Each structure stands twice: as C-alpha cells, then as structure tokens.
Amino acid sequence: MRIAELSRTSGVPVPSIKYYLRIGLLPPGERTAPNQADYGQQHVHRLRLIRALVDVGGLSIAAVGDVLASLDEQGANLHDALGAAMGATFPHDKGEDDSARRAAREWVETFLDERGWDDVDRDCPTAEVLIDAVTTMGRFEYLDSLELVNVYADIMEKLAPFEVAWSGRADTPEGVLERAVVGTVIGGIAFSAVRRMAHQHVSSRMFGDAADS
Amino acid sequence: MRIAELSRTSGVPVPSIKYYLRIGLLPPGERTAPNQADYGQQHVHRLRLIRALVDVGGLSIAAVGDVLASLDEQGANLHDALGAAMGATFPHDKGEDDSARRAAREWVETFLDERGWDDVDRDCPTAEVLIDAVTTMGRFEYLDSLELVNVYADIMEKLAPFEVAWSGRADTPEGVLERAVVGTVIGGIAFSAVRRMAHQHVSSRMFGDAADS
C-alpha cells in the first residue's frame, strides 16, 4: 500500500509516519518508483506498537527506539531480548547513593535473596526503581511500609507465571516480544487503573458515608 | 527551627523550600521577627511528602498542589478526600471518543457492573485511563487481552482490602490520607518494579538458556 493508505489503516497521520521513517523507527517501504514506496502489514503492525508505547505507555521516542532495537535484534536469546526491551520501557535516573539509599539497596538485595529470585539482575533499571521506592518509604518512618513490598511479591509469584505464559502465546519470537511489551506496559497501566478502582470500591465501604451510618 | 535547619532536617535545599512557600505548597512558618520564621515538625512532614510525590511519584508541581489541597480540606468525608487526592495523582488527558474508544468504554462499564464495583465513579480519571488501555489492547487484536484485566481484578479484590486497611493505620484523618497517597503512589511504583522482577525471574526459566538445555 502507499503511504496515504498506510496512514488510513493505522490511524497515524502521514507527517508522523514520515518522521518515524526518517529517524529509523519504521523500516523503509519497498521502493516502487523514484518517489514512491510500498508498505505492508508489518508497517501497520509496527506503527500500532509505536503509538501504543508513546500514547498509552508514555514512553519517549528514544525509549521506543530502544525497545524496537531489541525487537529487531536477531539471534539474541529471548530472555535477554525481553530484558533489554523491558529495561527500555522503565527508564530511570539513578539516585545519589547516600546512607538511606545504601540501606534500601541492602534491603532489596536481602529481599531478592530470601525470595530466591536469583535470575533478577541486581543492577537493572527495575532494581534501581525499587531501591528508590524503598528509600522513600523509609523516609516516612512507617515501620510497616516494607510489608507492602512483600505482599506484592507474594502476589507476583502467582501472577508472573500467568503473565509470562500470556506473552508466550505467539508463533514467532518477535510476536512473543511484542506481546511482552504490550502486556508489561499497557497491562501495567491497566493494572494500576484496576488497582485504584478496587481501592475506591473498598474505601467507600470503609471510609465513606456508608461507614458512618 | 529556622529555615536552614528545616533544610538540613528534611534534606530539601533552601531555594526549593522558599519556592514551595511562595506558591503555597508549604504553609508559612510562625513569624518571630520581620525577616525570620519558625518551622515545626509539620513542615518537615509536608516537605517529605512533596519530595516523595515529585521525585519518586513523578507528579507535577500542579498535581502535588491538588493532592495537598485535598489533604488540607477540612470536613470532607474521608472517602471523597481520598478520591480527590487519588485523581490528582493520576492525571489524564481524555482521549478522543472514536468508535474503538466507545466500544472500550462499554466494555469497562460492563466489567464494573459484573464485578459489582458500584462505588467506582465511571467518569473519574482512573476510568478514563482504563478505557485508554482497553482501547489500545483492542487495536492489537489479541483476543485474549481482556483476560488480563479480569485476572488483575481478581487479584485486586484480594489485595485492596489489605491496602486500604494499611492506609487506615493512622491516628488522624490527615495521617490516613498521607498513608493513602504514599501507599498508592509509592506502593504503586514498588508494585511495578516487583512485577517486572518477578517477570524476569519467571521468563529466565521459560525463555532463557536454562530452557534450551
């Protein structure tokens, strides 16, 4: 199809498509004339993923570039490619390692040891995000903050096998990576929304007018 | 304490404290001389919350202002104050309601009906976020995407009572609101990090080198 039809099919405006082509997020179409190219289903597919990551996932164009680079990398083992894609969807500026943060880092390492989550890379962006959250919880001096993290881990030990198997329901390694990215990023947003709705529902019963009567 | 000590105790630089005072995020200290004020523990407390929301929660200064306004509002019932604070921590630009989004909105309404989550405000920012996520999932044409949302709801029906009770472990309504904000925002970030670590752990077994041998 021509670029105008690609735009209609994908819902992405022509200037955005041209921009993605220029910066290499979208692979070039097949040239059919000096000023004309033909695009296929893989372009529709790729545009859909770019827009999902940017519009719903809130990723920067640079982060999307990193995710797509790991999707396109050939021959890497799927676990490593997933790790690279996931790291790119969770960018993080490393905080300064003062004494509170060093204590939080130790807590996270003990937590991972006790869980037996030996395959988790302790220097990955995700670990830094958890260390930041634990540092902040520590500042609030609620002695029961870290209880939350362990409750979350109990839940994820049940949910993760289901989510990872969900990503695995695809015919090709690229399909698995795409589902992993969509499941992690869009699924993560859906989870946050469902979590807050469930809080609303429960808090209404616990703290709302109904509880006063 | 003077502003210099407030800065040392809270870890927030003096220029930032002056900025928060100027825009009203931080209430003024008690004036002790024409150019001098005295600050108390409630200022340390408030600064801690501002920095947690900005640095770890990623909230804008405007969103922090909205959260603090609902914390400061007197007499509102706690459930409504929680709702206002939570809406402010989850800002969302409403997407355009095309046919795909209208279908997603219907799906979310049926989902809430079937769950019996009658107390959830169907026009709140959180509902719009879920509608966006469901719209995006629909675009990927995986017929099993919405399965994820129902699995998340099953989990949250168990987790929400624990989390809301966790917020409730405070002596004052302000304490409950502060814990709700910290639990929702910082807890939410901790949950995302734990979720991704659990995926890493499981995916290594399912897709890593170990799975090949």
Residue B172 binned pLDDT confidence (cut-offs 50, 70, 90): confident
CA–CA gap between residue A105 and residue A89 (Å, rounded): 22
Residues 6+ apart with CB under 8 A from B113: none
Q: Note whether B207 contacts A79, CB cutoff 8 Å.
A: yes
Mean pLDDT of B129-149: 87
- Of all residues in chain B, the percent with pLDDT exceeding 70 is 87
Which residues in A lie closer than 8 A to residue B143 (C-beta atoms)? none
pLDDT in tens, B182-206: 888 889 999 999 999 999 899 887 7
Q: What is the pLDDT of residue A210?
A: 45
State the best of A53, A201, A205 to mutate against chain B, taking most chain B CBs within 10 Å: A201
Q: Which of A78, A161, A207 sits opposite B202 (nearest CB)?
A: A161
Determine contact, residues B71/B178, Cβ cutoff 8 Å: yes
Quote the longest CA-to-CA distance of chain A.
76
Mean pLDDT of A96-107: 88
Least confident among A43-57, A76-90, B113-127: A76-90
**Is residue B126 over pLDDT 80?**
yes
Q: What is the pLDDT of residue A211?
A: 44
pTM over 0.80: yes
Q: Which of B175 and B33 is assigned the larger pLDDT?
A: B33
Closest by Cα among A83, A87, A80, A149 to A114 = A149
User: How near does any CA of chain B get to the CA of A73, in Å?
Assistant: 16
**Is residue A13 over pLDDT 90?**
yes
Q: What is the pLDDT of residue B91?
A: 60
Residue B78 binned pLDDT confidence (cut-offs 50, 70, 90): low
Residue A76 binned pLDDT confidence (cut-offs 50, 70, 90): low
User: How near does any CA of chain A get to the CA of B105, in Å?
Assistant: 13
Q: Note whether A159 contacts B195, CB cutoff 8 Å.
A: yes
Please check whether residue A23 touches B, CB under 8 A. no
Please check whether residue A104 touches B, CB under 8 A. no
User: How near does any CA of chain B get to the CA of A17, in Å?
Assistant: 18
Least confident among A26-35, A73-82, A91-100: A73-82
Q: What is the pLDDT of residue B34?
A: 86
CA–CA gap between residue B203 and residue A163 (Å, rounded): 10
Please state, rounded to an integer, the average pLDDT across all residues of chain B. 85
CA–CA gap between residue B213 and residue B211 (Å, rounded): 6
Please check whether residue A54 touches B, CB under 8 A. no
Which residues in B lie closer than 8 A to residue A145 (C-beta atoms)? 182
CA–CA gap between residue A57 and residue A61 (Å, rounded): 11
Mean pLDDT of A32-46: 90
Please check whether residue A151 touches B, CB under 8 A. yes
Please check whether residue B108 touches A, CB under 8 A. no
Q: What is the pLDDT of residue A91?
A: 60
- Of all residues in chain A, the percent with pLDDT exceeding 90 is 40
Which residue does chain A place closest to B152, by CA atoms?
A: A191
User: How near does any CA of chain A get to the CA of B34, in Å?
Assistant: 33
Q: Which of A76 and A41 is assigned the larger pLDDT?
A: A41
CA–CA gap between residue A168 and residue B199 (Å, rounded): 12
Alpha helices in chain A (DSSP H): 3-10, 14-22, 41-51, 61-72, 78-88, 99-115, 125-139, 145-168, 173-207, 209-212
Q: Which of B105 and A185 is assigned the larger pLDDT?
A: B105
User: How near does any CA of chain B get to the CA of A19, in Å?
Assistant: 22
Q: Note whether B86 contacts A196, CB cutoff 8 Å.
A: yes
pLDDT in tens, A42-62: 899 889 888 888 877 777 888
Residue A95 binned pLDDT confidence (cut-offs 50, 70, 90): low
Q: What is the pLDDT of residue A175?
A: 80
Please check whether residue A198 touches B, CB under 8 A. yes
State the best of B115, B118, B136, B163 to mutate against chain A, taking most chain A CBs within 10 Å: B136
Residue A208 binned pLDDT confidence (cut-offs 50, 70, 90): low
What's the distance, CA A155 to chain centroid?
19
Residue B81 binned pLDDT confidence (cut-offs 50, 70, 90): low
Please check whether residue A150 touches B, CB under 8 A. no
